[in-house]
Structure 1
Amino acid sequence: MNIEPSDHTGMLRRMLAALDPGTPLDDALRVEGRAGLASRYPVSGLACASIGSAALMLAQWAWPGDRCPVEVDRALASWWFGFSIRPLGWERPNVRDAVTGDYAARDGWIRLHANAAHHRHRALAALGLPGDAGRVAVAERVRRESAETLEDAIVDRGGCAAALRAPGAWRDHPQGRAVASEPLVQRQPGSAGAPDGGWLDDPNPERPLAGIRVLDLTRVLAGPAATRFLAAYGAQVLRLDPDDWDEPGMIPEVTVGKRCAFLDLRRPEGLERFRRLLARADVLVHGYRPGALDALGLGAEARQAIRPGLVDVCLDAWGWTGPWRARRGFDSLVQMSAGIAWAGEGAAPDPLPVQALDQSAGYLMAACALRGLALRRETGLGGGWRVSLARMACLLQEAADAAPGTPARDAPVLGPAPGPAYDPAIEPTAWGPAQRLRAPCRVEGARWGWDLPAGPLRSGPPDWW
């Protein structure tokens, strides 16, 4: 068995320090395998570190006070950063809208993110194009303008875009400087809550999260990856969506193990129903932009008052300080702005082979939820945990700068996941039969798997079960 620990160790150390400085690093995590994804950045190392951090926090929860062996399979962790599902006899819906993509501007490159209908409409409106404009028309329009000018115009309209910047330009940018000064995980004090059952003191190691209720208010992709991990070990995950949101290409990927329901917090009856659900939740995972929940009367203090002892885990795209803290953002846009996609002056963008910022942030969010539950068991206190895509980008860049050329001068490059990488069990999804990749990590005694197949959004009632 080949072991290749070098490119994940530093990132894992940073994650564990942010989660629990007392977690021993030596021999805490065993990584199997040497192959990695082809990238200028240690993407496979990031996969091992982030999935490993979640697995280590799960082990602490399941086996309090004991050292529990934790292993990560490097190849499987890398493949889980892509798509985990293999349809059998059907195809996943297309993930990207035709307008989404990279465009050459007059002085550089810009990426438009238009997968959501309202984001597409706003981007086209900012470009002065009709709502049915296609990629050719967009390319002709973008070519005549400055990338940063177009970025500002689209963002001002409420759309999603990012000009390609060099890494040095991002380090000098006000938002880049703000993000670099932030901790990897921001922690906020919470309220005291009475224990709710025996699971707080004596979790079942086989299904260590059985009985834990997780309220999911997240969209593609980090938050759903976090709650998918929690559901894999038995948590009850209830995902809530309004009627104007869809993500057809990703729904089969991220709804496995979850109940999905309709609830619109913008309506008084929806807001009241949410309050009742939150009062019985153990963990809330959300990815609303800063201030959005506050505007609904659901700020951090209000959430803790509704559910004393709540473990509150939140994601933001651009960081929690700086001028862009409330800007809409996605993994691919952060890669552009932060310089990860930079391949040289005049060169087309060269992004990561997978949405590694989203995926790593998701597993770190799962680790935050698990550490928060453990602290609540120890102290009776809940608390807030905040993660951002931009800070994950900074972590990855720092790792690449510290070990240029890692992961591997001689390690094999991973191709697509082969058949044996998938669990032979058939998942009867709402779209047809499918298989999932095997578990990327192993925690002694804990069973990985979901009690519910992937299903459509808004397919059930907004109730706990």
Structure 2
Amino acid sequence: MNASEVLGGIWRQAGLPAEALPFARLTGADPVLPSSFAVGVAAQSTIAAAALAACELGHLRGSARQQVGVDMQHAALDCTGWFSLDGRVPDPWDTFSGLYRCADGWVRIHANFAHHRDGALRLMKLDPATATRAEAEAVMATWRAHEFEDAAAAQGLVATALRRFDEWGATPQGHAIAAQPLFTIERIGDAPPLALTPLREDQRPLTGVRVLDLTRILAGPVGGRALAAYGADVMLVNSPNLPNIESIADTSRGKLSTHVDLRTDEGRAVLQQLATQAHVFVQGYRPGGIASLGFGPAELARLRPGIVCVSLTAYGTQGPWANRRGFDSLVQTAMGFNHAEGEAAGDGKPKPLPMQILDEATGYLIAFGAAAALWRQQQEGGSWHVQVSLAQTGHWLRSLGRVPGGLSIARPDLKPYVETSASGFGELAALRHSAQLSRTPAAWPRPSMPPGSHPPVWPVDTAK
């Protein structure tokens, strides 16, 4: 399928008006990055869907429709997540992250957060303070892959065994994912349409929309960043007790960034107050984590009738892995992408996709789902719940087909797409947003700032 057909499928699934689709202009074709999968189509179609849905909500608020142009090469590079701070390109991976050969296969461990790294090393019976990668590799060679995967999951750690596509498809979780759509948008309560100020023609389409972003690495922050690019007031809410990794400098462009401690009564009261004035609440913590603190979709719909909730998970809401933590690299490994890419490369060694496309595409589906549900809320009223998962996006990516010879192309130059801005982290060089809005260009007028830089207070409605 080409990207326009894929975009049409996403659009129709959300129930958005077909007359908006001709305003999308998609250029380019796979391969654009070295992969045997249609990563360019996945990037371009989800970015276009997010931008077009934002513009359609703007049209509902009184603005004329505008053209949304997305070039596939720019979109794919946009989804690589490349950035530098003061000229330094951070290494995205911890020393202990990556693939390990086991007695009967391979396991991928995600160790970018210290508590995940230390937990995995303790499971190997190694001292986190002194262990080396070589020692970890020696221990892992004695484990059976699926036994380590199960032992890690039982301790809330993040590691998955390498599978082929057919092996994944034969698992109960593979069956569960195959039975689910790419995303769901569900009405969860009654409410009148929320008040949104009519737009002037020069205002970005989501101006005046307030978004609470309770997400971490990486899909959720990408979704919030896209909503900010289209004009939303996005407030990233971090815990003062949790660590972050350096990609937060890239994904915080355009956002307010505050600290709220939800373990305290005071913190929960602050978030409740913010939610009563929000239009969208996005969360990507472990399944049930936010709900246990009183901020599940049903509770939010009672607190703020008409709100749009967006929930992100790794493996969906059904099946035995529904409560498992996960990251893009692990989902790629579990579902069969690393094995298939290695086979396509010809050397048989497991090979990751050229970017975290499950994270990135899912992030843009978050932005799309939020805008689409808001459009429906304005038309129909009600409170709404959007659900996405990395594994559902992975299943969809497989459905886009393979790209013969895709691994043979060279990686294109990033430089034409890089912009530089001042930030609270230093001089930030990163990719410009790849969706080109013809009348109200996407932009991040708020600089990227460290967590806790802003008070937990909404700004004055800029749409007035």
- Is the structural similarity TM-score above 0.5? yes
Matches of 2:358 and 2:40, distance apart in 1? 12
Q: 1:243 to 1:236 in 2, by over 3 A?
A: same
How many matched pairs?
451
Aligned partner of 2:167 in structure 1 is 169
Q: Aligned partners of 1:271, 1:252: CA distance in 2, in Å? A: 26
In the alignment, is residue 49 of structure 1 matched against residue 45 of structure 2? yes
Shift of 1:458: 2.1
1:407–1:52 CA distance, 2 compared to 1 (3 A)? farther
Q: C-alpha deviations, 1:344-397, integer Å up to 9, x for none? A: 499332110000000000001100111111112112223000001001000111
Kindly provide the amino acid, as one letter, of the partner of residue 50 in structure 1: T
- The aligned amino acid for 2:393 is M
Query: 8 Å contact 1:7–1:42 — kept in the other structure?
Result: no
Select the residue among 418, 422, 425 that pairs with 1:422.
Answer: 418
The one-letter amino acid paired with 2:162 is: L
**Cross-structure match for 1:143:** 141
Aligned counterpart for 2:56 among listed residues 49, 57, 60: 60
Identity of aligned residues (%): 33
State the 1:289 CA deviation.
Answer: 2.4
- For residue 97 of structure 1, give the secondary structure of its aligned residue in structure 2: coil
Equivalent residue, structure 2, for 1:11:
6
Q: Is the 8 A contact 1:123 1:157 kept in 2?
A: no
Evaluate the alpha carbon distance shift between residue 321 and residue 196 of structure 1 in structure 2; reply closer, same or farther with a 3 A threshold: closer
Alpha-carbon offset, residue 414 of structure 1:
3.9
CA distance in 2, matches of 1:358, 1:246: 19
Distance 1:417 1:17 in 2: 33
Q: Which residue of 1 aligns with 2:357?
A: 356
**1:116-156 deviations in whole A, cap 9, x for unaligned?**
11111221121111122221111000001111111111111
Structure 1 runs (4+) greater than 6 angstroms displaced: 407-410
Please state how far the C-alpha of 1:409 moved relative to its aligned partner.
Answer: 10
1:33 aligns with: 28
What stretches of structure 2 of length at least 5 have no aligned partner?
A: 460-464
Match of 2:287 among 272, 279, 290: 290
Give the superposed CA RMSD. 2.3
Structure 1 contact 92–249 (Cα < 8 Å) conserved: no
Residue aligning to 2:436: 442
Equivalent pair of 2:110/2:158 in contact (CA under 8 Å)? yes
Equivalent position amino acid for 1:152 in 2:
D
* Structure 1 contact 100–115 (Cα < 8 Å) conserved: yes
Q: Spell out the pairing of 1:147-162 with structure 2 (5 A cutoff).
A: 147-162=145-160
Which letter maps to 2:56?
A: Q
Distance in 2 (alpha carbons) for counterparts of 1:348 and 1:25: 44
Instruction: Quote the Cα distance in structure 2 between the aligned partners of 1:454 and 1:409.
Output: 34
Alignment correspondent of 1:215: 212
d(CA) in 2 for partners of 1:138 and 1:394? Answer: 32
Partner of 2:119: 122
Match of 2:247 among 241, 246, 250: 250
Counterpart CA distance in 1 for 2:8 and 2:336 is 24
The reply to whether residue 397 of structure 1 matches residue 367 of structure 2 is: no
Q: Alignment partner of 1:292: what SS?
A: coil
1:301 aligns with 2:321: no
For structure 1, the 5+ residue unaligned runs are 1-5
Q: What is the distance in 2 between the residues matched to 1:432 and 1:291?
A: 36
Judge conservation of contact 2:310–2:387 (CA < 8 Å) in 1: yes
Partner of 1:377: 378
Corresponding residue for residue 315 of structure 1? 312
Distance change (3 Å), C-alpha of 1:147 and 1:238: same
> Which residue identity does 2:138 align to in structure 1?
E
* Deviations 1:192-215 (CA, angstroms, capped at 9, x unpaired): 44555452x446553221211100
Residue 213 of structure 2 aligns to a residue whose secondary structure is strand
Distance 1:41 1:437 in 2: 22
Q: Distance in 2 between matches of 1:233 and 1:138?
A: 45
For 1:91 and 1:302, the matched residues in 2 are separated by 43
Instruction: Report if the CA contact (8 A) 1:36-1:407 is conserved.
Output: no
* Contact 1:318 1:325 (8 Å CA) reproduced: yes
Instruction: Report the Cα distance in structure 1 between the residues aligned to 2:282 and 2:69, rounded to whole angstroms.
Output: 26
Change (3 A) 1:263 1:198: closer
- Normalised to the residue count of structure 2, the TM-score between the two structures is 0.91
Native 8 Å contact 1:94 1:248 kept in 2: no
Bigger mean CA offset, 230-239 vs 354-363:
230-239
Match of 1:457 in 2: 451
Q: Report the counterpart of residue 3 of structure 1 in structure 2.
A: none
Q: Distance in 2 between matches of 1:306 and 1:43?
A: 39
- Larger mean CA deviation between 426-435 and 17-26 belongs to 17-26
Q: Provide Cα deviations, 1:157-208, integer angstroms capped at 9, x if missing partner.
A: 1110010000000011100000000111122213344555452x44655322
CA distance in 2 between counterparts of 1:376 and 1:10 reads: 26
Structure 1 length normalisation: TM-score?
A: 0.91
Q: 1:137 to 1:416 in 2, by over 3 A?
A: farther
Residue 462 (structure 2) aligns with: none
Is the Cα contact below 8 Å between 2:421 and 2:427 reproduced in 1? yes
